[in-house]
């Protein structure tokens, strides 16, 4: 069921927020039911900048909660580190995962954690939002992929001449599913690779 609204990264609120009733009047009516979004999602602060404003002018990302299974990096922005060689600067930010752990690697604030209990598969979606250069994405988890002890590595790669620094803004969504195929964890965060001049 589509809400009739899209975040700046092109995703529907129905796919992100925890269902519930925040008791908030947003003046944004759900396309399917006509009900105010404030009566359909649970109260909280997702930490996501959605680009959708409520009646009070507040971004709805700060009004509604993510599902309880979201990773602790939900809503965070990770800035890329960069290396220089041969007149080019390169920035690569990775999201790695296996059957027990996940990790953000290549940022200025790398972090890691445990895979949600009961997760047997994962899907990772990269969405280019903005920037001077789109860069490239390598993602073996673009469709639902079974988790094993072997670490799967997805990443955004950005390279540019030192004389022309570049940056890109990617929304990254990670979904973990259980053995029945149900989503038990849905997390969205931002990668911001940037090259130096």
| pLDDT tens digits, 119-170 | 999 999 999 999 988 899 999 999 999 999 999 999 999 999 988 889 999 9
pTM, 2 dp: 0.69
Closest alpha carbon to 189 in 71, 54, 103, 26: 71
- Where are the extended beta strands (E) located within the chain? 77-79, 83-85, 88-97, 101-105, 111-114, 121-131, 136-138, 145-146, 152-161, 168-177, 183-192
Give 32's pLDDT tier (boundaries 50, 70, 90): confident
Residue range 40-47: mean pLDDT, rounded: 84
Rounded to whole angstroms, the Cα distance separating 123 from 187 reads 11
Q: Around Cβ 163, how many Cβ atoms within 10 Å?
A: 9
Give 8's pLDDT tier (boundaries 50, 70, 90): confident
């Amino acid at each position: 069921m589509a809400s009739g609204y899209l975040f700046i990264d092109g995703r529907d609120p129905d796919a992100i927020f925890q269902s519930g009733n925040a008791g908030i009047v947003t003046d944004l009516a759900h396309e399917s039911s006509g009900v105010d979004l404030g009566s359909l999602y649970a109260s909280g602060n997702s930490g996501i900048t959605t680009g959708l404003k409520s009646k009070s002018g507040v971004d709805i990302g700060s009004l509604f909660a993510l599902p309880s299974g979201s990773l602790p990096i939900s809503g965070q922005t990770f800035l890329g580190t960069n290396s220089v060689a041969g007149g080019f600067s390169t920035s690569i930010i990775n999201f790695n995962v296996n059957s027990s752990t996940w990790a953000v690697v290549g940022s200025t604030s790398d972090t890691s954690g445990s895979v949600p209990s009961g997760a047997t598969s994962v899907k990772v979606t990269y969405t280019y939002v903005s920037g001077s250069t789109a860069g490239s994405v390598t993602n073996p988890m673009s469709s639902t992929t079974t988790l094993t002890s072997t670490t799967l590595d997805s990443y955004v790669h950005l390279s540019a001449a030192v004389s022309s620094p570049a940056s890109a803004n990617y929304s990254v969504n990670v979904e973990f599913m259980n053995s029945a195929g149900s989503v038990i964890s849905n997390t969205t965060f931002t990668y911001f690779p940037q090259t130096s001049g």
